Amino acid sequence: MPRSVDLTAVVPYADHLDDGLVQLSFTLPVPYSLAARKAALELAGKMGFEDPEVVHYQQLTDGYTYFVMYGRCVQSIDFTELQGDGFDIEYMSEEEIERFAEEQVGRAIVVVGASTGSDTHSVGIDAMLNLKGYHGHHGLEGYRSFRTYNLGSQVPNSVLVAKAIEVGADAILVSQTVTQQNLHVHNLTELVEMVEAEGRRGEMILACGGPRVSNELAKELGYDAGFSKGTYPHHLATFIVRELASRVAAG
Amino acid sequence: MSNSKLGLDPGVVSACRQAARQIAEQVSEQVAGRTTVSVERSVTRLLGVDGADSLDVPLPNVLVDHVHDRGGLGRGVAYWIGNAMLQTGRTPQQIAESVSAGELVLTELDLAEERAIHTRVMEECAARLKDISGRFEERRAMRERLGDSPAPLRYVLTATGDVYEDVVHAKAVAEAGGDIVAVIRSTAQSLLDYVPYGPTTEGYGGTFATQANFRIMREAMDEWSEQHGRYVRLSSFCSGLCMSEIASMGAWEGFDNMVNDALYGILYRDINIVRGLIDQRVSRMINGYFGVVINTGEDNYLRTADAIEAAPSVTASQFINHQLAHESGVPDSQIALGDAFEIDVPVRNSLLYQWAQAQLTRELFPDCPVKYMPPTRHMDGNLFRTHASDTLFNLVTIATGQGLQTIGVPTEGIFTPHIHDRVLGLQNVDYVFNAAHDLGEEIEFKQGGVIQTRAQEVLASAHVLLERIAQTGLFRAIEQATFGDVSRSVDAGRGIEGIVTVEEGYFNPVVELMREVSYA
């Protein structure tokens, strides 16, 4: 008789249901030694792992030791609480988006995007906006229903906002690819503040994306949505057309 | 080319070289008669000016701006320094300090006879270059004594933002077999029209390239090298708006390699084309003169353009960059042309296409070390898949005999690598380089097979592209988004205001002295 998952108390799955095994790796700034190994085991215990095991450890340089470990996680999550609104992933295809936009919006949707601040990487914004897109998915430039402006990288927030106002943008997209010490949070917050200061927050959809950006973080910072790794242009387009349509409907 | 594994047509290859020569000559003509504020600042640096004023403005900027504001830069900053040396008996550094203190206005001094000024500056500059050359000789001796690693050299990037953390990461890299450590610059440094002064502990996506930071890294790596009996090289970035200044600083601090490609800044940092190419010419001259290996940036095109479609533009750019480097006096053994393993993962036979491109680069430039770059663009955060891609990348590197390889790290595309990520990357390299050590010598490619055909097609398309660029000129080609799908126009871009038209009597002692040697 196969056991079924208890969705009110989910733990990680490795080999058997409810074994709770988790892989972790980290470096400690201590010399390579048996004491270092012991330190890693105790630390994993403090993290809440039971039966921690060091499967590999090595010296990186004097005073630094790297560990690969396993441990059994005894914390669990009630998955049944995480159902419902906001958790369903349902995207439209490019064709469906075009049709939806035509019917529900009925005019060109203007999108302005940039990689802002000191970030020199345009790879994210290019993947979303440029015709070529990413992995065979067109960027928004290739959609009939969108008119796009890709300002590239290292764009000051003020320039991005000015451009958005100039062209009457329906949505602003901000990309933050490389960041350190939460620089992206500062950059993203500044943009929201500027849009608000211009009194345009209500007219524009604000979305941000990047490897360190999540939907949760984005909303916390005052954006309408955030997109992380694995996002394709049609994911973003789905969000924009739906959001815009609901705003149009709301008048 | 008689022993080409790819069955390349020597006629096409020499036609490519011919076209690239034409293109490079046109570029030289188009940038002639001009200098830039950063070229002039590098002259002051090579005359011994260093330090910063109370507002942290570097003295080379203070001095060059001082002359430029008074309309004198068309004569070259050397002219005014030389005159001030004769009139005041002070050294260039003392002159810079006096100017900074507002005690001296260079353009208001009595003017000595031009011949005398020239002679005085040339003497000073020659002595300074001799000092630097002496340091390089010592370094060469140290490298020979400690032993240099065989190619492919393992080039590893660190980027913590804090130079003292970079030292720790660099030591871990060295311990794991890294041959060259490159400290990535803080993001946005390329757009600063000055080089920050002093050690720095805050940067984003990298650590500021400053002379003090260079020195801290050099000392740490020299110490490690002596302790462990293996020489570790250092690299940085002669790119952005201060290409030639960073070349001067790197030379003084004994750096071994430098990323040195104007096209990168032009395409991806929107630096003006003319500004970039003038700065590149002088920075390459300095690197060439002191034996520093330069890395070019063709690999970057594949981050913004498709690796399969854009392959001919990479090859064409290698031909052009090779010629431009020659024009600045850099010998083949110091030109590490860029190439990358960037074909998307799901492409069938992608390994064969990568192999074809890597082998093609080797065969076209057999005496250049080549800088081969790991997969980045399509690495999606699944670090285990990235590690697998890096394994194939390492295989192609060793089997095609690349001179220099930037190692891949499993966490590519997630964050700047953590200390152990690089070690994992280097362990992968070790395994593959050892396991497939002589594979390249065992391999011949099937006549008319996928690899030969691909390489021949790329070369043929590169040839068409080069002929077209030779007709239109490089500037027009850049305008037409030939490289990396990015378009830049000749009369726009950052740093354009720093271009200065030279006047009758202009001279640049650095260029004069280096040309004498390179073209003797």
Residue where a domain stops, chosen among A57, A88, A119: A88
Range 370-399 of B in CB contact (< 8 A) with A: 377-378, 380-381
A56 touches chain B (CB under 8 A): no
CATH code, domain with A33:
3.30.30.60
Considering the domain architecture, whether residues A32 and A107 belong to the same structural domain is answered as no
Tally the residues of chain B.
Answer: 520
Query: Interface pTM (ipTM) of the complex?
Result: 0.85
Give pLDDT, residue B96: 98
Residue B1 has pLDDT above 60, yes or no: no
Please answer yes or no on whether A123 and B416 come within 8 Å at the CB atom: no
Average pLDDT for residues B17-35, to the nearest whole number? 96
Task: Please tell me if residue B503 touches chain A, with a CB cutoff of 8 Å.
Answer: no
Same domain, yes or no, for A128 and A200?
yes
What is the DSSP code string of B360-380? Answer: HHHHHSTTS--EEE---TT--
CA nearest to B377 within chain A:
A123
Same-domain status, A138 and A227: yes
Whether the CB of B205 is below 8 Å from some CB of chain A: the reply is yes
Pair A15, A130 in one domain:
no
| 3-state per-residue secondary structure call for B241-288 | HHHHHHHHHHHHHCCCEEECCHHHHHHHCCECHHHHHHHHHHHHHHHH
Which of A123, A152, A180 is nearest residue B303 as measured by Cβ atoms?
A123
Mean pLDDT computed over every residue of chain B = 94
Burial class (CB in 10 A: 0-12, 13-18, 19+), B29: exposed
At B519 the pLDDT is 45
State whether A246 and A163 are in the same domain: yes
Q: Which of A27, A179, A211 sits opposite B420 (nearest CB)?
A: A27
Q: Are residues A32 and A153 in the same domain?
A: no
- Asked if A162 has any chain B CB less than 8 Å from its own CB, the reply is no
Task: Write out chain B residues lying below 8 Å of A132, CB-based.
Answer: 306, 485
Domain boundary among A33, A66, A88: A88
For residue B437, count other CB atoms closer than 10 A to its CB.
11
- Which residues from A are below 8 Å from B269, CB to CB? 120, 154
| pLDDT, tens only, B93-119 | 999 999 999 999 999 999 999 999 999
Both tokens assigned to B174: 């060295």
B69 is an active site residue? no
Specify whether A67 is located in the same domain as A182: no
B425 or A141: which leads in pLDDT: B425
Separation between Cα atoms, residue B108 and residue B119, nearest integer Å: 21
CA distance B106 to B508: 17
Q: Quick one: A182 and A123 in the same domain? A: yes
The domain boundary, picked from A33, A59, A88, lies at A88
- Label residue B520 by pLDDT band (50, 70, 90): very low
CATH number at residue A156: 3.40.50.280
Q: Are both A126 and A141 inside the same structural domain? A: yes
For B370: left if phi > 0, alpha if psi spans -120 to 50, otherwise beta; the answer is left
State the Cα–Cα distance between residues B275 and B472, nearest whole angstrom. Answer: 20
Render pLDDT for A60-118 as a digit per residue (tens, 0 to 9). 999 999 999 999 999 999 998 887 656 666 789 989 999 999 999 889 999 999 998 87
**Which one from B256, B261, B299, B390 is the annotated catalytic residue?**
B299
Cβ–Cβ under 8 Å, residues B245 and B470: no
Mean pLDDT value of segment B325-342 = 95
pTM beyond 0.95, yes or no: no
Per annotation, catalytic residue among A38, A132, A219, A229: A132
Instruction: Fill in the DSSP letter of residue A26.
Output: E
Look at chain A and count its residues: 251
Give me the domain span that covers residue A182.
94-250
Chain A residue numbers touching B161 (CB-CB < 8 A):
180-181
User: Is there a single domain that holds both residue A11 and residue A50?
Assistant: yes
Domains in chain A, number: 2
Q: What is the pLDDT of residues B224-271, one digit of tens each?
A: 999 999 999 999 999 999 999 999 999 999 999 999 999 988 988 889
> pLDDT tens digit string along B343-369?
999 999 999 999 999 999 999 999 999
Tell me the nearest-neighbour CA distance from A111 into chain B, angstroms: 20
Q: Are residues A79 and A107 in the same domain?
A: no
Residue A23 forms contact with B (CB below 8 Å): no
Q: Which residues of B touch A62 (CB under 8 A)?
A: 171
- For residues A78 and A180, membership in a common domain is answered with no
- What are the tens digits of pLDDT across the range A187-234? 899 999 999 999 998 889 999 998 888 888 899 999 999 998 888 999
B76-97: b or e for each residue (b if 16 or more CB lie within 10 Å)?
bbbbbbbbbbbbeeebbbbbbb
